[in-house]
Structure 1
């Protein structure tokens, strides 16, 4: 399809810009069954907090797609900000192939992103914005460059702290349209403002969100290599026929908790923003709870976890989303481990396995624990802190997921 005809066919979707309130699900993008929307999520990062803003600077976020499509739309967040976020310019491009640590774009791939037809936008504090459709052939399993220019100080910047991906900063001026990345002289390991990318016409049945903490966020994996367990899950799903294929949206936050706010809003608090407001969601994998058990204040009542998990499932089911529960992995040898906390972990895992809470269960604990010391990770999977996993361990976790359980065909 020629670029002009793509642009013409997207004109009817120009109303796709949606401002989403963090605290008002009624304003959220309608979800549920994927056939209700032509869009599918290909990438996500959950907002974890704020950092100093970047007045008169450009940031070039590097992200990795799970699915491809014939057009894109960009989700930008001022969810945790305190003042309107002024965007002077936004672009999206394909990163040069084989150069995950380069700010250079594939020649001819840079596209201007608009909001209600305008190249500049102001996003109110506490809100997200979804762009107009962008005519760009988005490849699957590839890196995109999403560049934003903020001309003025808009207050604290909403960001995802632990991106485990090299992104870039240009310290002066608007360089969003640059194909050559020479002006991007500084690097960052965080993603600024960007919380999602959707694609149009993906050869897939929808998407799956992975809701979790640092283990899902990828802590312990090789930076700029896309070796988080959700990345490996995406690779497995791409091998399926299109009618069974799903994009993968990683909603992991290092340090996150189920029951209490801390590093980012709790899983319960952010469910609407990070799961239910995403495009084409068919399934949700929940693997979270270790920071509640070992963090301060400790959460010691398994019944509180059960109630939280059941609430997550009920809210997801109301949108037609299947929920897979993941058991909490071992952390013996880590500084936060005690025998009392281990007993809580075992009790919560029994609820996940046998409590009938979830549509299906993936027993991550059984996959990664050391048979000789079940409260510990297998040494071959341990990143070194006895809590997080290396690339091999994260791959084992992803390989443990029954892909059919994500679409309702599991035969457990």
Structure 2
């Protein structure tokens, strides 16, 4: 069946999930760059990130993709998190770049650290601390982290602190760090590619209740990682918050270590933000086919997710609802995707299918609370594994 094929079989030349011959690199966590913000000089940023799968060592992806000046990294450290900004004693490691502890990242570029020998369990919280000694202009960030991270304003010498007492300020952004790969026995990863619904808007902060996190919980026993490439406000067809899905596909999804499956849930913002240039269903079909063709060429299978209701939201109109229904017909029956996760059917209110079930609605009639996120994770897991 198509659903079983999403995780279990391959397309020509694909990297289908199977047992590797030995330890491999696989993505365990991701945050797609969504913007850039001022940080200033001399700040140490202790980013808190939550892994999906574990390994015997790791490497960190740092980004100056949306920066305008060279990014000077004065120190980067990683540790298992105990609580708040405090590290588990004995786990803090300094990251290097071709053997040196400092480096400069040109504007528009990403950079991987050297491998860091630090065994990390699945589901662990990491502290990834980045110290920037000089003002390097706007810092590439992810603006909807839904996770408290920590800053030391006078950060010189504090990147390697085990005790987090110097980290007196907090932030809900992730700065500079955009990915963590682990080296071990994971069988690959799936990439959740979407907008604010994937980014986690509506879920409880500091709980890892976004639907990709809940999907990771369900796939952990299979040793499959989940990478969250959602950006709140992102669009399928046009640049908006972050580059369009078509523009960022390679950088945020296809180039991720060990990626096996792409989960595409994009398009609702193209509908609700429609103007005189409001797209038609054929525009969505062409864009989805382009995403699938490119993913297949990179060896990934693709799961399409239906667009969910938003009746009651100020942007809802009968014409936009009709377009959403036409797009969902394409996703379900257009033979575009290798498998389909029918999130619309999972979360819509049986009494009014234009709306989200009240039990899943955080109040804005568009996003999902923790229960709604879990419902989405279940239907996506079913599409990946063939469960019913």
Check whether TM > 0.5: yes
Distance 1:257 1:410 in 2: 29
What displacement does 1:296 show?
4.4
| Structure 2 equivalent of residue 339 of structure 1 | 318
Alignment-derived partner of residue 249 in structure 1: 227
Superposition deviation, residue 33 in structure 1: 5.9
SS of the aligned residue for 2:247 comes to coil
2: CA distance between counterparts of 1:270 and 1:54?
Answer: 27
Contact 1:33 1:319 in 2 (8 A): no
Whose relative contact order is higher, 1 or 2, with alpha carbons under 8 Å and at least 6 apart?
Answer: 2
Contact 1:87/1:148 (CA < 8 Å) preserved in 2? yes
Cα shift at 1:288: 1.1
Deviation at 1:300, TM superposition (A): 2.8
1:351 — aligned with what? 330
Write out per-residue CA displacement over residues 140-189 of structure 1, whole angstroms, 9 at most, x where no aligned residue. 11100000000001111100000000000000132110000000000000
* Aligned match of 2:255: 277
Q: 2:165 aligned with 1:190, yes or no?
A: no
1:328 aligns with 2:328: no
Number of the residue aligned with 2:56:
70
Alpha-carbon distance in 1 for matches of 2:47, 2:381: 32
State how 1:5-404 maps to structure 2 within 5 Å.
Answer: 32=15, 38-96=24-82, 99=83, 102-174=84-156, 175-201=158-184, 203-240=185-222, 245-297=223-275, 299-403=278-382
Give ranges in structure 1 of 5+ residues lacking alignment.
1-30
CA distance in 1, matches of 2:174, 2:322: 37
- Offset of 1:411 from its aligned partner? 8.9
**Any idea what the Cα deviations from partners look like across 1:109-159, whole Å, max 9, x if unmatched?**
100000111100100000000110000011111100000000001111100
* Conservation of the 8 A alpha-carbon contact between 2:215 and 2:381: no
Q: Tell me, in whole angstroms, the C-alpha distance in 1 between the residues paired with 2:79 and 2:291.
A: 35
Q: How far, CA to CA, are the matches of 1:33 and 1:125 in structure 2?
A: 34
In the other structure, the counterpart of 1:12 is: none
Report the 3-state secondary structure (helix = DSSP H, G, I; strand = E; otherwise coil) of the residue aligned with 1:268. helix
Deviations 1:280-315 (A, max 9, x none): 000011111110001143633111111111111011
TM-score between both structures, scaled by the size of structure 2: 0.93
Q: Which residue of 2 aligns with 1:3?
A: none
Instruction: Give the whole-Å Cα distance in 1 for the aligned partners of 2:81 and 2:278.
Output: 43
**How far 1:246 sits from its partner (Å)?**
1.1
Deviation of residue 360 (structure 1)? 0.1
1:359–1:280 CA distance, 2 compared to 1 (3 A): same
Give yes or no for contact 1:70–1:200 (8 Å, CA) kept in 2: yes
CA distance in structure 1 between the aligned counterparts of 2:101 and 2:349, rounded to whole angstroms: 54
Report the 3-state secondary structure (helix = DSSP H, G, I; strand = E; otherwise coil) of the residue aligned with 2:87.
coil
Contact map agreement 1:229 1:394 (CA 8 A) in 2: yes
CA 1:32/1:78 → structure 2, altered by over 3 Å: closer, same or farther? farther
Indicate if the aligned counterparts of 1:33 and 1:281 stay in contact, CA closer than 8 A. Answer: no
Name the CA distance, whole Å, in 1 between partners of 2:268 and 2:236: 9
Q: In the alignment, is the contact (CA less than 8 A) between 1:43 and 1:65 conserved in 2?
A: yes
Cα–Cα, structure 1 residues 275 and 179, in superposed 2: closer, same or farther, change >3 Å? same
